[in-house]
């Protein structure tokens, strides 16, 4: 994006066009659509003929065909190719053989009535087109020196390692061949602006080296013709076009397509452009790489200058050789860069494979992450979390950019070196992120890896003000520029363009990251499956062990009691031992019952119904009042809205929490239990609060684990399973369970239950019929 423009210290001196006005967009569009392929005429330095049908009937020709060949020409459809060129030449037979073959072009020299003509032919949908140019004897003599020149260039060009050196070498070679005053190498950028990267001249014409010319100087349809027809000569910019006769091709009644004809007449606007430049003659040789127009070898002369077909053929050969050598050098540079970046990618991916997560691994290897695309900053966005390194935009901007990139439905990669031109908010972060590469790593979420490049403020020297590349006069007629004086422009909000190797590196890295994420997902899925299988096995084992141990412990307690009754005269110490056996057996039996109930909970389906929580609490209070009748408990029970769940399990969960509150507040004076319920719309929140011993919040994470206690068992009885069982019950209902407390200041337990029916969590099939278990009385607010 251009933010400011500054004319050179030597502004354009041309003041003749005081009536020239800025060009309306519709006229620019009209220029871009100018039918330059069908001009209806040719340049006068040769002649053109169109033949049709198996007998090669002449159906259309340039008006000067008879004058050039010095033969009578009839346009009534009665003449054939043999009539046009005469019987004393092999041209007719050669053309017929070529027309029946597969070669695309025809290039030969023939004697016609004692004169030598260079004949060029190509096929068109409207007929077979032949072009005739008479050869100059002096040029024929010079052609003998072409081979040594071309050979010497080919031998020396291998030592020209850079594109700049190679361009300078071919410019000098072409100027030697053609004798033009100035030869320059013109390279297109990604926006089709052209820059003169090499130049040689005799000083007759001004230097344009390093100047840039706007894309509008060579419109798209003109560039396409340069790609298809690699050589174009204009001996004089003041020629009068030779019309075609008849004006429309009889084959289809349409104008003749002269897109690949060497003699094609050019646009009047281009001829005026040449005259404004001070150029009377020009020769253009296209540099085409991978079927794309890379640049031009552009020759200019201050006077009229004709270059014959043989010299042009030598120049065309040079242009093709240079295109191959430029392509080879650019490919070699890209391959070297690809190998270097691939080495960095391999090192980075190896580190990520050892990291717990690829996001953290990227930050740990920030230098490799940035070097992967030669960037100054980078960021990774996953699930709304941003991790960045280097010179990156603020987090809010990265998240906004992530949301915008997601709307573009990028499959593999998005890249730009001028973000603000596509995303207006990008102007605010242009200093660090004018250039952006983004690769998506998720199809479901706005998850991306970004690389950033800062803006590079650049002063560009144009060959004239690009805003005045074309203009109109007072009559509305379109004119090319009038001035080519150097004009400076400061360009902002643009970063160094991304190279192809860097973009491919990002694409390859995306593949590695996606595979990495998929591999980790598979590993997690496999681990989850193994854990589920292990949990089922453990549940089955605990169920079996608990079931099998219940009877032995009850037998121990029962036989110990019977022994005491049979031996009433036992010593006091023996009686103490016997009481200990009974207590231990009862405790172990209670633990087994708790384990059995805990293991059953994961194997039993929920029976969901509406629960009257006030009624449930009333039953729990009566039960506890009977157990705690030796001491008074102050109850503060507020409204308890109904919930939805399995009545038996919810009663068990609430019983455990209230029983724990009573147990751990026994030392308080008086013990107070406060119970409340709150309807929150989608669910109901219940709280159980006591004024007992409380607990240290640093150990709150252990409260709901099996056999974890925060107090000594000698001080408070219990098996250490009660809260774990409560947590499991609440989880099965899709609710939450939390605990807050402070040492000596009591504790508060809060849990939620659904307010209305919802789909309960499915339980696995039963391995055996469930056994009823009594409510658990053991708490586990203790640390062993």
Instruction: Give Cβ neighbours of residue 256 (< 8 Å, ≥ 6 apart).
Output: 38, 40, 50, 60, 124, 126, 129, 244, 248, 249
Between 244 and 354, the higher pLDDT residue: 244
The torsion defined by the Cα of 572, 574, 577 and 581, in degrees rounded to 10, comes to -120
Higher-scoring residue by pLDDT: 19, 287 = 287
Helix, strand or coil, per DSSP, at residue 540: helix
Computed from CA positions of residues 759, 761, 764, 766, in that sequence, does the dihedral angle turn out positive or negative? negative
- For residue 255, what pLDDT is reported? 94
Query: pLDDT category, 22, cuts 50, 70, 90?
Result: very low
Q: What is the pLDDT of residue 4?
A: 33
Q: Using CA of residue 179, residue 180, residue 181, residue 184, what is the dihedral sign?
A: negative
Rg of the chain (C-alpha set): 46
Sheet holding 435-440, edge to edge: 385-390, 377-382, 448-453, 435-440, 414-416
> Which of 92-106, 176-190, 360-374, 596-610 has the weakest average pLDDT?
596-610
Q: Which tokens hold the place of 313?
A: 């053929």
Mean of pLDDT over the chain: 79
C-beta neighbour count of 398 within 10 angstroms: 23
pLDDT at 184 over 50: yes
Q: DSSP label at 782?
A: B
What's the confidence (pLDDT) of residue 437?
A: 94
* pLDDT, greater one: 548 or 159: 159
Sign of CA dihedral 5, 11, 17, 19: positive
519 phi and psi, to 5 degrees?
Answer: -65, -45
Greater pLDDT, 27 or 78 = 78
Contact 689, 673 (CB under 8 A): yes
Instruction: Report residue 515 CA to chain centroid gap.
Output: 16
Cis before 650 (ω within 30)? no
pLDDT at 185: 95
Higher pLDDT, 181 or 385: 181
Q: How confident is the model at residue 629 (pLDDT cuts 50, 70, 90)?
A: low
pLDDT band at 2 (very low <50, low <70, confident <90, very high): very low
Angle at 519 between CA 515 and CA 521, to 5 degrees: 115
Distance between CA atoms of 522 and 539, rounded to whole angstroms?
Answer: 25
Output the pTM of the full model.
0.60
DSSP result, 408-433: TT-SS-EEES-HHHHSGGGGGGHHHH
Tokens representing 547 are: 């079931």
More confident site: 684 or 3: 684
Cα separation of 408 and 15, whole Å? 48
* Alpha carbon distance 584, 719 (integer Å): 12
CA–CA distance, 457 with 494 (Å, rounded to integer):
7
- In angstroms, the CA 374 to CA 194 distance is 26
Helix (H) or strand (E) holding 5: strand 2-7
* Spatial distance between the Cα atoms of 420 and 492, rounded to a whole number of angstroms: 10
Q: Looking at 393-407, 552-566, 587-601, which range is the least confident one?
A: 587-601
d(CA 441, CA 569) in angstroms, rounded, equals 81
- Closest by CA to 237, choosing from 303, 311, 309, is 303
- Classified as helix, coil or strand, 469 is coil
Q: 448 vs 263, 375, 454, CA distance in Å?
A: 54, 16, 19
N-to-C CA span, the chain = 69
Which among 230, 148, 185 is positioned nearest to 156, based on CA atoms?
Answer: 148
Q: What percent of the chain has pLDDT over 90?
A: 34
Mean pLDDT of 259-281: 90
Give the integer Cα–Cα distance in Å for 722 and 781. Answer: 9
Band of pLDDT at residue 600, cut at 50, 70 and 90: low
Query: Exposed/middle/buried for 656, CB within 10 Å: 0-12, 13-18, 19+?
Result: buried
Other Cβ atoms within 10 Å of 717 Cβ, number: 12
Q: Which residue has the tokens 């974890």?
A: 708
pLDDT digits (tens, 9 = 90+) for 114-154: 888 999 999 988 999 999 999 877 666 666 667 777 788 87
Long-range contact pairs involving 679-682 (C-beta distance under 8 Å, separation at least 24): 679/641, 679/755, 680/752, 680/755, 681/755, 682/754, 682/755
Over the range 238-257, which residues count as b (16 or more CB within 10 Å of their CB) and which as e? ebebbebeeeebebeeebbb
* Contact (Cβ atoms closer than 8 angstroms) between residue 516 and residue 352: yes
Structure tokens at 526: 């496999």
pLDDT bin (cut points 50, 70, 90) of residue 553 is: low
Joined tokens for residue 183 = 């030869």
User: Which of 12 and 370 is assigned the larger pLDDT?
Assistant: 370
Going from the C-alpha of 76 to that of each of 48, 131, 243, 251, 423, the distances in angstroms are 17, 20, 17, 14, 62
Q: Please state, in angstroms and rounded to a whole number, the distance separating the CA atoms of residues 407 and 402.
A: 9
Check: CB of residue 592 under 8 Å from CB of residue 553.
yes
Q: Using DSSP, state whether 205 is helix, strand or coil.
A: coil
Residue 623: predicted pLDDT: 77
- Cα torsion 96, 100, 101, 105 to 10°: value is 50
| Mean pLDDT computed over 469-497 | 58
pLDDT confidence bin for 361, thresholds 50/70/90: confident
Q: Report pLDDT digits (tens) over 703-716.
A: 776 545 544 444 44
- The span from the CA of 432 to the CA of 426, in Å, is 10
pLDDT at 517 over 50: yes
Pull the structure tokens for residue 702: 């252990």
- Burial class of residue 81 (count of CB atoms within 10 Å of its CB; 0-12, 13-18, 19+): buried
pLDDT at 94: 92
Cα separations (Å) of 586 from 33, 471, 725? 99, 105, 20
Residue 668 vs residue 10, higher pLDDT: 668
The more confident residue out of 101 and 483 is 101
Q: Tell which wins on pLDDT, 182 or 703.
A: 182
| Cα→Cα distances 335→290, 372, 504, Å | 16, 15, 11
Give the torsion through C-alpha atoms of 584, 589, 592, 593, to 10 deg.
-140
pLDDT at residue number 597: 60
Mean pLDDT value of segment 452-457: 85
């Amino acid at each position: 994006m251009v933010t400011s423009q500054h004319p050179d210290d030597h502004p354009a001196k041309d003041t003749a066009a005081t009536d020239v006005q800025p060009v309306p967009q519709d006229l620019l569009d009209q220029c871009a659509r100018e039918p330059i392929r069908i001009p209806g005429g040719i340049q006068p330095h040769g002649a053109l003929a169109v033949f049709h049908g198996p007998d090669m009937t002449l159906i259309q020709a340039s008006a000067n065909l008879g004058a050039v060949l010095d033969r009578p020409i009839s346009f009534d459809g009665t003449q054939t190719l043999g009539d046009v060129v005469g019987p004393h030449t092999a041209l007719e037979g050669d053309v017929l053989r070529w027309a029946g073959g597969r070669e695309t072009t025809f290039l030969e020299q023939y004697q016609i009535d004692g004169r030598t003509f260079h004949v060029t032919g190509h096929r068109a949908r409207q007929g077979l087109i032949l072009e005739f140019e008479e050869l100059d004897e002096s040029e024929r003599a010079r052609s003998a020196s072409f081979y040594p020149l071309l050979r010497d260039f080919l031998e020396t060009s291998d030592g020209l390692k850079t594109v700049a050196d190679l361009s300078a070498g071919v410019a000098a070679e072409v100027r030697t061949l053609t004798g033009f005053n100035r030869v320059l190498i013109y390279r297109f950028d990604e926006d089709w602006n052209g820059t003169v990267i090499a130049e040689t001249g005799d000083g007759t014409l001004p230097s344009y080296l390093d100047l840039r010319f706007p894309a509008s100087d060579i419109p798209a349809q003109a560039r396409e013709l340069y790609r298809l027809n690699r050589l174009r000569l204009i001996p004089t910019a003041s020629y009068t076009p030779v019309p075609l006769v008849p004006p429309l091709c009889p084959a289809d009644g349409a104008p003749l397509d002269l897109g690949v004809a060497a003699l094609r007449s050019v646009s009047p606007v281009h001829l005026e452009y040449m005259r404004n430049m001070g150029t009377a003659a020009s020769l253009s040789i296209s540099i085409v790489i991978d079927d794309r127009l890379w640049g031009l070898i552009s020759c200019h002369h201050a006077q009229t200058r004709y270059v014959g077909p043989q010299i042009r053929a030598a120049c065309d050969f040079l242009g093709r050789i240079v295109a191959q050598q430029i392509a080879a050098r650019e490919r070699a540079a890209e391959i070297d860069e690809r190998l270097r970046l691939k080495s960095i990618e391999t090192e980075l991916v190896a580190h990520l494979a050892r990291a717990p997560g690829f996001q953290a691994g990227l930050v740990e290897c920030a230098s490799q992450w940035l070097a992967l695309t030669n960037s100054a900053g980078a960021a990774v966005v996953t699930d709304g979390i941003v991790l960045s390194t280097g010179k990156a935009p603020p987090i809010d901007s990265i998240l906004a950019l992530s949301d915008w990139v997601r709307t573009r439905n990028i499959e593999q990669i998005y890249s730009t070196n001028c973000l603000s031109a596509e995303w207006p908010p990008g102007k605010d972060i242009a200093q660090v992120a004018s250039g952006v590469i983004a690769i998506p790593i998720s199809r479901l979420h706005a998850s991306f890896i970004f690389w950033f490049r800062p803006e590079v403020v650049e002063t560009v020297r144009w060959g004239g003000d690009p805003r005045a590349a074309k203009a109109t006069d007072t009559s509305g007629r379109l004119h090319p520029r009038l001035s080519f004086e150097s004009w400076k422009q400061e360009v902002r909000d643009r970063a160094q363009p991304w190279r192809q190797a860097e973009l491919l590196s990002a694409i390859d890295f995306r593949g590695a990251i996606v595979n990495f994420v998929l591999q980790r997902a598979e590993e997690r899925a496999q681990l989850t499956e193994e854990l589920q299988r292990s949990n089922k096995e453990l549940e089955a084992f605990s169920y079996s062990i608990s079931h099998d141990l219940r009877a032995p412990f009850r037998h121990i307690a029962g036989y110990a009691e019977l022994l005491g009754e049979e031996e009433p005269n036992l010593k006091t110490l023996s009686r103490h031992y016997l009481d200990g056996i009974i207590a231990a057996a009862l405790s172990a039996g209670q633990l087994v019952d708790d384990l059995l109930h805990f293991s059953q909970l994961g194997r039993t389906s929920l029976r969901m119904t509406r629960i009257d929580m006030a009624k449930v609490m009333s039953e729990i209070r009566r039960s506890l009042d009977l157990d705690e009748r030796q001491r008074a408990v102050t109850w503060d029970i507020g409204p308890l809205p109904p919930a939805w769940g399995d009545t038996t399990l919810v009663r068990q969960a609430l019983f455990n929490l209230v029983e724990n509150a009573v147990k751990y507040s026994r030392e308080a004076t008086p013990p107070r239990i406060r119970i409340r319920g709150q309807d929150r719309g989608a669910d109901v929140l219940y709280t159980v609060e006591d004024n007992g011993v409380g607990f240290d919040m640093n150990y709150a994470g252990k409260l709901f684990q099996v056999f974890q206690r925060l107090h000594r068992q000698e001080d408070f009885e219990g098996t250490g399973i009660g809260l774990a069982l409560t947590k499991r019950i609440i989880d099965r209902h899709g609710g939450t369970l939390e605990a807050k407390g402070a040492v000596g200041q009591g504790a508060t337990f809060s849990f939620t239950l659904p307010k209305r029916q919802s789909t309960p969590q499915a339980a696995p099939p039963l391995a055996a019929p469930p056994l009823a278990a009594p409510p658990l009385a053991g708490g586990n607010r203790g640390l062993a």
